[in-house]
Structure formats: structure tokens, C-alpha cells
Chains A and B, each alone.
Chain A
Amino acid sequence: MKYIKSFIEKNNENLKLFLRINSTIFSIIIIIYLLLLIINQFWDRFIKEYININSVFILLLISGTFFLFPIIKEEEEFKEKRKLEREDIFLFLIMGIICAVLVWIKIKNFGIISYIISIISGLLTLVLPILLFYD
């Protein structure tokens, strides 16, 4: 335990840098992982042949564990509140449209009902984040 403590004290700056890099890597891997899952819904063969999602999963788990257990005390958390801006709504709108299109592609052979389901799912992806932001 003493050895670990002295190691941390000695390499304080390096560890801080590592954790900062890790938190950035963690957030990037999350997005990559989720995007891969979406791609997997449409081109599962492509994913199986070229990328192993499980390895991304394990990478995310390791990075997440480091993210949760910072050995060094973190700097104070930011307490400022971010307000909902026009760009955010625009982003949610684009995501909503993307969601609606993706769902429609997936279920287009359902007939008219496919349009209704995709519109509803698009609306959900638009309204939910706005509701959360507005709180």
C-alpha cells in the first residue's frame, strides 16, 4: 500500500494526464461503440468480417473502470448549467430525422404502418432530449 501511495505521489502529473486522456478516450469509444451497434443493425456481415464489437466492448469496460476509479482526486466539478440553444435543437432535429429514416429503412416492408412507426420514433428522439434539457 505504501509503495502504491509513493508511486502515485511520484507520478502524480503523469497519472493526471493519463486519466484526462482516458476520459476523452472513454467518451469517444462510447460514441463509436453505439454507432457500431447501429451499423450492425444494417450491415451485420460487414461488422462481423472487419470489426469485432466485443473487443470494443472490452475496451469500453476497461476505460470505464479507469474513468470511475480515479486514483488522484479530481478537480472540482463544473457547476455551471448549460442552457438549451438553437444549435442543440437543430442537432436533435437532425438526429430525429436520422432515427426516423433508419427505422423506416428497417421496417419499410410493413406498409403504411412503417411510416407511422418511423415518424413516432423520430419524434421521440427529438422531444425526449428537449424535455430533459428544459427541466
Chain B
Amino acid sequence: MIYESNSKIKKILEKIKFFTLKNKLEIFLFFFFLLIFVIYSWDTITDSQCPFHYDSHAIWIFSKNLIQNKSLIYSDPLSELFEFKVFYHFGGYLSNNKFYTIRNYGEIFLTSFGLLLGYKVPFYLISLLGTIGVIFFYLFAKNIFNKKIALISTVLFSLSYPMINWSNQLISNVPAFSLFITGLYFASDIFTNKNNKLSRYILPSLFFALSVWMRYQYLVFLLFLIPWIYKTRKSIKLKYFVIAILIFILLLTPIFFLNYHLHKSPLTFGNIMKDIEITKKSADKIFKNEMLNIMINTFLWIYNRFLSKLVRLDFITLINNLKYYLYDIFPGLIIFSILGYVVIFKEKEKNKLNFAIFSLLYSIYWIFRIIPRTLLRPEDIKIEGPIPRYFLMVYCFVILISIFFIFYLSKKFVRLKILNYIIIILLIIITVLNTSSLLKGSGYTVFAHNAKKQRNKINIIIKDFPDKSIVIGDRRFFLHGIIGRKTLDLCEITIIDKEENCKVAVNYIKTLLNLNYPIYIIEKNYLSLTNYIQKNENDLIIEKVISEDYFEIYKIFYREK
């Protein structure tokens, strides 16, 4: 009996061993992607999540408004009472006391969908899309290069600072990147002649359209695929290609309808309307001038917008700024990517060459479009700022080409194959070390994590306040990320003199108290409003209701006569 059961266990163990050895890469990838999802949703898992970023706060408000009022226009009736628009302290533009979004519709719909399922779901959706993006990046790299290059590139890219940081935020850069790379993977199946079914034409158009919904610039990026399409035209079925383009256009048409519905013009987006509103304010200045001045102004506008970047192309400035946004984020890889491009153009292997042309066109355009024109110094650099999150595609291309070059070296140093693995190990160590120093240092990820934790705590506390409560604060300290109750931003009272500023704020508080709104002030704020009220306002009483290490909340009400 014992002998029989022992042999059974042995057989099972052997089967497990066989299965593990056969599928070792797949097993590794499964656990690796699981780990990546945990890292990307770290803030949410550890209850330290809230729409902390200026843009994410706007996305949150508009998404919530979409669920509650079935509208993309946000309007606060209380705002009409005040000169300064203290309730509109997030991205958007104001017209006829209605607040219009400048965010992309895709991110608002995605967040709304998540909110329907739960408070944390929108954040998990971003992390999930980030992980999916990494998976499809692996598949795409495998299609163009090979399994080994795909594996190392995926590990380096997924563990890089920009991916970890922005997958933990409610911002659409990571979802847009993921959807685009997914579309690129399905398109690469056609380009490399691996699969030429109708589904491979429909899926890229679907994912490319979704990426455009998330961020409109991805529409421009599609243009860089034209050389690749042209060079592989023989493997493309024209009928399917036309169907794919029609589906792509069809999927984008709702954007134009929404634009028409909101701004009375299909091609006018929220951002454009905001620019127009700003121009309107300075319109008097322009149009009171003579005709000649108007012509000069128009020429200057065209010159500044389109020509100055080319005319004033300063190579030293460009290299200096690229050092901060490319070299410092991926030290060690840039040199290999330069040599990698040289190898690809030298070897002229069809798929790699087409990909290299696409990636080069894309990177050059985007670097010229995004990198600042002024000579940046270390103190000017904002690694946590917009540039690294706009550069996700550039980063993944740089990594892919560099790893290709390292494996190209192994062809040259066959006897010194171990050298290649040492290079790879050193690169992994450098990437992990650099990511951790950016996360806790200038990248502010750990700082943002702690700040979000604080705001999350505030959100939990203010849930007990009456429904109509208004929390007064300062967006430079605590206001962004507070979503439990309506918030009033003192920063929106744009009076330079602090005393005057406090007077206006107190008047607003009194108006709101007269309308029976419970008012709470969160300290600290730049005005130290509670101190001012205690010293100067005899008819108001302030009562500390919550005191924590890093914030205090005071309730304010009229003194009984």
C-alpha cells in the first residue's frame, strides 16, 4: 500500500516538474505580471489612494457629476453668489457660470464606470490597464524581436519609475499608452505577416480609437505608422484595411458629437475653448490697436507657435534637457539604444527596420514637441511633472532597442556569452536602484503616497460631517484629494493683500452660514484663517473638532446673541 502511494506521489511530482520545466517562462511571466499589478496598485492596496493630482481631482469631480447629473457640464449654484469662483478649483473653464471639462472624455467615462462599481475601482482600473500595457508590450516586442529581448525589455520597462509612479495615479497617460501598445501588437501581427484575419484589422482600430479617447495626441502618433504600412503594403488586405479605417472613424465620431453638444463645434475641444476664453480676456488689448498692430500680433502668434521652435533650435539646450528626462531616468540604456539603431539600419532586417523607422519618427516628433526650449538646470527639473508621463512610448522604444543591441553583442562575443548576462544583470541593478532613488527622492512618489494617505484619512473623518457641509481650505496644502464633502479653495480669492483676502473669505463664510451650510476650516492654509477670525470677528465662534499631527479641522458658527 505504502509503496503504491509513494509511486503515485512520485509520478505527480514528476508531472509537476515536467510541467514547470516546460512552461517555466510562462510561469515566471504569470508571477511577474501579478507582482507588477501589486506594485502598480500599491497606493490603492495600502488605503492611501485619492485623486491627489490637480488633473485627477478634475477627472474625479466631472466623473461624479456625470453619474449624479448625467451631464459633462459641472455647475455649482452657490458659485453664482460669489465674485471669486472658489468652488471651481480644478482644471476646466468657466462660461456662463457653467464649468466645462478640459479633460479627455475617455478618462471621464472610464472613471465614471469605475465609480459605479466602487470608490477604489477607478484606481484599480488604471493599475490594471498599466499591467495589460506591459503584457502587450511583451507580446509586441516578441513579434518584432524575440522572446529573450521581449522578456528583458518588459522587466526593465515595467520596473521603471514613470510606469510605477503614473500607474498609481488617476491620470490617463498610462491607460492611453497601454491601449496604443495593445493596438500596435495586433497591427504588428499584420505587418509581420503572422496573422492576416479580419479580427487582426478590427482589433487595432478598436484599441487605437480607445487610446485617442484617452489622449487626443495619439491620433497624431498614428500618422507615424504610414511608412510601416506603406512598406508592408503587399501583406495588407485592402478590403480589411478599409473596414478597419471605417470602424476607427466610427468609433471616434462620438467625440465630435460631444464636442458639438458642449462647445457648438465638432472640432473644438475643451482645451481650445479654454485658450479662447483666455484670449477673450486680453482681446481688448489686441483689438483696440490699429490694423498694423493686429497683423504684427498675428504674425508673432504664428511665429511663436510654429516657427520659433525650428528657428531657435538650440542643440545644446535639447541635449541638456534630454539628459534630465531620458538619461537620468534610464541611465546606462541610452548609449545602447544609439548603437542599437545603428545596428538595425546597418543590418536592414525588414521588421526591425520598419519598427526602428516608426519609433525614430515618433520619438523625434515627440521630443521636439514636448521637451522645454529653455536650458533647464537641476533645480528646474520636475521628474514627477508631465514630461516623463508623456514619454512612456519613447521610453519603451529606447529600452527595446537597447536590449536588442545587448543581445546583438552576444552574437559577437559567443565565447564570452557570460559577459552579456553580466551586462543584463548590471542593467537590472541600475534600473531598480535608479527607480527606488527616484521614488523616494526627486520623483516624489513616496511623498505623494504619504500625502494621499493623509487626505484619505481626512476623507474618512469628514464622512461623519453633515451632508451639506462645506470644507474650506487651500489647494496648496490639503484641498486636492478631499472628495468626501464640497470644498472651497481660498487660493481662488486672488487678492494679494492677505488682510483683504481674509475679509473676503469671512464674508463668504457668513453668506454660507446664513444659508444654513455647516462650515469647517481645515488648517493649515496660507491665510491662517482661523487665527484671523479669532482675532477680528466677534460674532463668529471657532471650535476645534479634529486634531491630528499634520492637520486640524475647525467648525465655525455664529455666536448666539
Contacts and interface: CB of A to CB of B under 8 A. Distances in A.
Nearest to A30: B423
Given A38-B426, A77-B411, A133-B421, A33 B151 contact: no
Nearest to B42: A113
A125 B25 CA distance: 15
A13 interface: no
Interface in B337-389: 338-339, 342-343, 346
Contacts of B432: 99, 103, 121, 124
A105 B335 CA distance: 27
Contacts of B28: 127, 131
Contacts of B217: none
Given A41-B433, A110-B440, A134 B24 contact: yes
Contacts of B424: 128-129, 132
Contacts of B48: none
Contacts of A27: 413, 416, 419
Interface in A97-133: 98-99, 102-103, 106-107, 109-110, 117, 120-121, 124-125, 127-129, 131-133
A37 B331 contact: yes
A99 B424 CA distance: 12
B434 interface: yes
A61 B421 CA distance: 21
Contact of B436 (A106, A125, A134): A106
Contact of A131 (B24, B343, B418, B429): B24
A91 B437 CA distance: 26
B414 A129 contact: no
Contacts of A34: 332, 423, 426-427, 430
Interface in A73-111: 77-80, 82, 88, 91-92, 95, 98-99, 102-103, 106-107, 109-110
A68 interface: yes
Nearest to B414: A78
Contacts of A37: 331-332, 430
Nearest to B411: A77
A31 interface: yes
5 contacts: A57-B335, A99-B425, A124-B155, A125-B428, A128-B151
Interface of B: 24-25, 28, 35, 147-148, 151-152, 155, 331-332, 335, 338-339, 342-343, 346, 411-419, 421-430, 432-434, 436-437, 440, 446
